[in-house]
Structure 1
Amino acid sequence: MSYQISPTTNSKFMFNLKAENNQVILTSQVYEQKQSALDGIASVQANGPFSKNFEHLTSTASEPYFVLKAQNGEIIGKSQMYSSQASAEAGITSVQINSRSEVITTTE
Protein backbone atom coordinates (compact mmCIF):
# COMPACT_ATOMS: atom_id res chain seq x y z
CA MET A 1 0.00 0.00 0.00
CA SER A 2 1.37 3.35 -1.01
CA TYR A 3 0.69 6.70 -2.56
CA GLN A 4 2.23 7.44 -5.92
CA ILE A 5 2.58 11.05 -7.07
CA SER A 6 2.93 11.52 -10.82
CA PRO A 7 3.36 14.56 -13.05
CA THR A 8 0.61 15.09 -15.61
CA THR A 9 1.16 15.96 -19.25
CA ASN A 10 0.65 19.65 -18.48
CA SER A 11 3.32 19.82 -15.71
CA LYS A 12 0.85 19.49 -12.87
CA PHE A 13 0.58 16.68 -10.30
CA MET A 14 -1.84 13.96 -9.21
CA PHE A 15 -1.64 10.92 -6.97
CA ASN A 16 -3.01 7.41 -6.77
CA LEU A 17 -3.52 5.33 -3.66
CA LYS A 18 -2.55 1.74 -4.37
CA ALA A 19 -3.48 -1.38 -2.43
CA GLU A 20 -0.94 -4.07 -1.57
CA ASN A 21 -1.70 -5.84 -4.87
CA ASN A 22 -0.62 -2.59 -6.64
CA GLN A 23 -4.19 -1.92 -7.84
CA VAL A 24 -5.20 1.76 -7.89
CA ILE A 25 -8.06 2.22 -5.41
CA LEU A 26 -8.31 6.04 -5.32
CA THR A 27 -7.25 8.77 -7.75
CA SER A 28 -6.84 12.43 -6.85
CA GLN A 29 -7.73 15.55 -8.72
CA VAL A 30 -4.97 17.39 -10.61
CA TYR A 31 -2.93 19.82 -8.51
CA GLU A 32 -0.91 22.83 -9.65
CA GLN A 33 2.05 22.01 -7.39
CA LYS A 34 3.62 18.89 -5.91
CA GLN A 35 3.15 20.27 -2.38
CA SER A 36 -0.58 20.51 -3.00
CA ALA A 37 -0.62 16.83 -3.98
CA LEU A 38 1.22 16.04 -0.73
CA ASP A 39 -1.42 18.05 1.15
CA GLY A 40 -4.10 16.01 -0.65
CA ILE A 41 -2.42 12.80 0.52
CA ALA A 42 -2.44 14.11 4.09
CA SER A 43 -6.17 14.74 3.70
CA VAL A 44 -6.75 11.17 2.48
CA GLN A 45 -4.75 9.88 5.45
CA ALA A 46 -6.93 11.93 7.83
CA ASN A 47 -10.33 11.32 6.21
CA GLY A 48 -9.97 7.92 4.53
CA PRO A 49 -10.46 5.70 7.58
CA PHE A 50 -14.02 6.97 8.23
CA SER A 51 -17.02 5.65 6.30
CA LYS A 52 -18.94 8.92 6.80
CA ASN A 53 -16.50 10.62 4.38
CA PHE A 54 -17.44 8.42 1.41
CA GLU A 55 -20.24 9.20 -1.00
CA HIS A 56 -21.73 6.46 -3.19
CA LEU A 57 -22.44 7.57 -6.76
CA THR A 58 -23.54 6.01 -10.05
CA SER A 59 -22.13 6.93 -13.47
CA THR A 60 -24.27 7.73 -16.49
CA ALA A 61 -23.54 4.16 -17.61
CA SER A 62 -25.09 2.91 -14.32
CA GLU A 63 -21.73 1.85 -12.86
CA PRO A 64 -21.28 2.36 -9.12
CA TYR A 65 -18.28 4.34 -7.86
CA PHE A 66 -17.44 6.48 -4.86
CA VAL A 67 -15.70 9.68 -3.87
CA LEU A 68 -13.84 10.48 -0.67
CA LYS A 69 -14.59 13.91 0.79
CA ALA A 70 -12.75 16.09 3.27
CA GLN A 71 -14.50 17.58 6.30
CA ASN A 72 -15.29 20.71 4.24
CA GLY A 73 -17.13 18.59 1.65
CA GLU A 74 -14.43 18.94 -1.01
CA ILE A 75 -13.72 15.81 -3.03
CA ILE A 76 -10.23 14.47 -2.31
CA GLY A 77 -10.30 11.39 -4.52
CA LYS A 78 -12.44 9.24 -6.78
CA SER A 79 -12.60 5.50 -7.33
CA GLN A 80 -12.71 3.52 -10.52
CA MET A 81 -16.04 2.39 -11.93
CA TYR A 82 -17.24 -0.91 -10.47
CA SER A 83 -19.44 -3.67 -11.87
CA SER A 84 -21.55 -3.92 -8.70
CA GLN A 85 -22.37 -2.05 -5.51
CA ALA A 86 -20.73 -4.86 -3.52
CA SER A 87 -17.47 -4.32 -5.43
CA ALA A 88 -17.66 -0.57 -4.72
CA GLU A 89 -18.16 -1.35 -1.02
CA ALA A 90 -15.07 -3.56 -1.10
CA GLY A 91 -13.20 -0.65 -2.71
CA ILE A 92 -14.25 1.67 0.12
CA THR A 93 -13.06 -0.87 2.68
CA SER A 94 -9.72 -1.09 0.89
CA VAL A 95 -9.33 2.71 0.92
CA GLN A 96 -10.21 2.78 4.62
CA ILE A 97 -7.48 0.24 5.35
CA ASN A 98 -4.81 1.55 2.96
CA SER A 99 -5.35 5.30 3.43
CA ARG A 100 -3.17 5.27 6.55
CA SER A 101 -0.09 4.38 4.51
CA GLU A 102 2.86 6.70 4.96
CA VAL A 103 4.70 5.36 1.91
CA ILE A 104 4.84 8.02 -0.81
CA THR A 105 6.72 7.58 -4.07
CA THR A 106 7.13 9.96 -6.96
CA THR A 107 7.41 9.11 -10.65
CA GLU A 108 9.11 11.78 -12.70
Structure 2
Amino acid sequence: MAGKFVLTKGKSGQFHFSLKASNGQVILSSEMYTTKAAALAGIESVRKNAKEDGRYERKQAKTGPMFNLKATNGQVIGSSEVYSSEASRDAGIESVKKNAPEAKLDDTTAA
Protein backbone atom coordinates (compact mmCIF):
# COMPACT_ATOMS: atom_id res chain seq x y z
CA MET A 1 0.00 0.00 0.00
CA ALA A 2 1.28 3.45 -0.88
CA GLY A 3 1.15 6.53 1.32
CA LYS A 4 -1.95 8.70 1.34
CA PHE A 5 -3.16 12.14 2.30
CA VAL A 6 -6.16 12.15 4.61
CA LEU A 7 -8.25 15.32 4.45
CA THR A 8 -10.53 15.97 7.42
CA LYS A 9 -12.90 18.69 8.58
CA GLY A 10 -12.86 19.63 12.26
CA LYS A 11 -15.76 20.64 14.50
CA SER A 12 -14.74 24.27 13.94
CA GLY A 13 -15.42 23.84 10.21
CA GLN A 14 -11.75 24.14 9.32
CA PHE A 15 -9.81 21.64 7.21
CA HIS A 16 -6.65 19.70 8.02
CA PHE A 17 -4.62 17.03 6.25
CA SER A 18 -2.18 14.36 7.31
CA LEU A 19 0.24 12.37 5.19
CA LYS A 20 0.29 8.73 6.22
CA ALA A 21 3.02 6.26 5.27
CA SER A 22 2.15 2.87 3.82
CA ASN A 23 2.10 1.43 7.37
CA GLY A 24 -0.64 3.92 8.36
CA GLN A 25 1.62 6.08 10.54
CA VAL A 26 1.19 9.86 10.27
CA ILE A 27 4.45 11.33 8.97
CA LEU A 28 3.34 14.92 8.29
CA SER A 29 0.46 17.11 9.54
CA SER A 30 -0.81 20.41 8.21
CA GLU A 31 -2.03 23.55 9.85
CA MET A 32 -5.77 24.28 9.93
CA TYR A 33 -7.20 25.80 6.75
CA THR A 34 -10.39 27.87 6.54
CA THR A 35 -11.37 26.45 3.15
CA LYS A 36 -11.18 23.05 1.50
CA ALA A 37 -9.58 24.65 -1.57
CA ALA A 38 -6.75 26.02 0.58
CA ALA A 39 -6.19 22.60 2.18
CA LEU A 40 -6.09 20.94 -1.27
CA ALA A 41 -3.57 23.57 -2.39
CA GLY A 42 -1.50 22.68 0.69
CA ILE A 43 -1.52 19.02 -0.32
CA GLU A 44 -0.32 19.94 -3.81
CA SER A 45 2.43 22.06 -2.28
CA VAL A 46 3.59 19.10 -0.18
CA ARG A 47 3.64 16.89 -3.30
CA LYS A 48 5.67 19.52 -5.16
CA ASN A 49 8.18 20.32 -2.40
CA ALA A 50 8.63 16.90 -0.75
CA LYS A 51 11.59 15.73 -2.86
CA GLU A 52 13.65 18.91 -2.24
CA ASP A 53 15.94 18.26 0.74
CA GLY A 54 16.49 22.00 1.20
CA ARG A 55 12.77 22.45 1.97
CA TYR A 56 13.11 20.54 5.26
CA GLU A 57 13.79 22.50 8.41
CA ARG A 58 15.33 20.11 10.93
CA LYS A 59 14.58 21.35 14.44
CA GLN A 60 15.06 20.42 18.05
CA ALA A 61 11.82 20.72 20.01
CA LYS A 62 11.82 20.70 23.82
CA THR A 63 11.05 16.98 23.83
CA GLY A 64 13.13 15.85 20.84
CA PRO A 65 13.95 16.28 17.14
CA MET A 66 11.27 17.11 14.55
CA PHE A 67 11.00 18.76 11.14
CA ASN A 68 8.93 21.20 9.13
CA LEU A 69 8.42 21.06 5.36
CA LYS A 70 8.45 24.53 3.82
CA ALA A 71 7.13 25.85 0.51
CA THR A 72 9.26 27.91 -1.88
CA ASN A 73 8.03 31.08 -0.12
CA GLY A 74 9.34 29.81 3.23
CA GLN A 75 5.93 29.07 4.75
CA VAL A 76 5.54 25.85 6.73
CA ILE A 77 3.17 23.48 4.90
CA GLY A 78 3.56 20.50 7.20
CA SER A 79 5.15 19.44 10.47
CA SER A 80 6.27 16.10 11.83
CA GLU A 81 5.77 14.48 15.17
CA VAL A 82 8.57 14.69 17.73
CA TYR A 83 10.98 11.80 17.27
CA SER A 84 13.12 9.93 19.80
CA SER A 85 16.35 10.51 17.83
CA GLU A 86 17.78 12.50 14.94
CA ALA A 87 18.11 9.25 12.98
CA SER A 88 14.38 8.58 13.41
CA ARG A 89 13.59 12.15 12.33
CA ASP A 90 15.76 11.77 9.24
CA ALA A 91 13.99 8.50 8.41
CA GLY A 92 10.69 10.40 8.71
CA ILE A 93 11.95 12.96 6.18
CA GLU A 94 12.92 10.17 3.79
CA SER A 95 9.46 8.66 4.21
CA VAL A 96 7.81 11.99 3.27
CA LYS A 97 10.10 12.27 0.23
CA LYS A 98 9.12 8.76 -0.86
CA ASN A 99 5.39 8.86 -0.10
CA ALA A 100 4.16 12.40 -0.77
CA PRO A 101 4.67 12.82 -4.54
CA GLU A 102 2.44 9.85 -5.50
CA ALA A 103 0.18 9.71 -2.43
CA LYS A 104 -3.53 9.33 -3.14
CA LEU A 105 -6.12 11.57 -1.48
CA ASP A 106 -8.58 10.14 1.04
CA ASP A 107 -11.13 12.96 1.32
CA THR A 108 -13.19 12.27 4.44
CA THR A 109 -15.01 15.60 4.05
CA ALA A 110 -17.00 14.43 1.00
CA ALA A 111 -20.24 13.19 2.48
TM range (shorter): over 0.9
Cα shift at 1:106: 1.6
- Amino acid in the other structure paired with 1:90: A
Aligned residues: 107
- Amino acid in the other structure paired with 1:7: K
Q: 1:33 aligns with which of 20, 32, 35?
A: 35
In 2, the alpha carbon distance for the partners of 1:8 and 1:103 equals: 21
* Moved >6 Å (runs of 4+): none
In 2, the alpha carbon distance for the partners of 1:49 and 1:98 equals: 10
Aligned alpha-carbon RMSD (Å): 0.8
Aligned to 1:106: 107
Aligned to 1:24: 26
Q: 1:48 aligns with which of 26, 40, 50?
A: 50
In 2, the alpha carbon distance for the partners of 1:23 and 1:7 equals: 19
In 2, the alpha carbon distance for the partners of 1:3 and 1:25 equals: 10
Q: After superposition, what is the alpha-carbon deviation per residue over 1:8-61, rounded to whole angstroms, capped at 9, x for unaligned?
A: 120100000011001100000100011111000000000011111000111122
SS of residue in 1 equivalent to 2:102 = coil
Structure 1, unpaired ranges of 5+: none
Aligned to 1:93: 94
Q: Percent of pairs identical after alignment? A: 40
In 1, the alpha carbon distance for the partners of 2:87 and 2:34 equals: 35
After the TM superposition, which residues 43-82 of structure 1 pair with which residues of structure 2 at under 5 Å, given as runs? Answer: 43-61=45-63, 63-82=64-83
Aligned to 1:9: 11
